[in-house]
Amino acid sequence: MQEGTIRRLVSDRGFGFIRRIDGADLFFHGADLQGAVFAALREGQEVGFEIGRGRDGRLQAVKVKLARS
């Protein structure tokens, strides 16, 4: 599982972007959250995720979980 930080949330549309350790941003959809509710997310939170492909074939974060501190 990879790690990153929530960089931006688009709350009214239910998606956001995760900043990966390598500095690249990766899209994620609220439906790909595990063990968390989208409305409770905050920018700057650390998350773990896997990389998969969205319906459009582009890479995105899937199986997104809040990191345990």
User: What are the sequence ranges of the domains in the chain?
Assistant: 2-66
| pLDDT tens digits, one per residue of 11-50 | 999 999 999 999 999 999 999 999 999 999 999 999 999 9
3-state SS track over the chain: CEEEEEEEEECCCCEEEEEECCCCEEEEEHHHECCCCHHHCCCCCEEEEEEEECCCCCEEEEEEEECCC
| pLDDT tens digits, one per residue of 25-35 | 999 999 999 99
- For the entire predicted model, the pTM comes to 0.89
Report the top-level CATH class of 2-66.
mainly beta
HSE-up of residue 50 (Cα within 13 Å, Cβ side) = 7
pLDDT at 69 over 60: no
HSE-up of residue 21 (Cα within 13 Å, Cβ side) = 6
pLDDT confidence band for 54 (50 / 70 / 90): confident
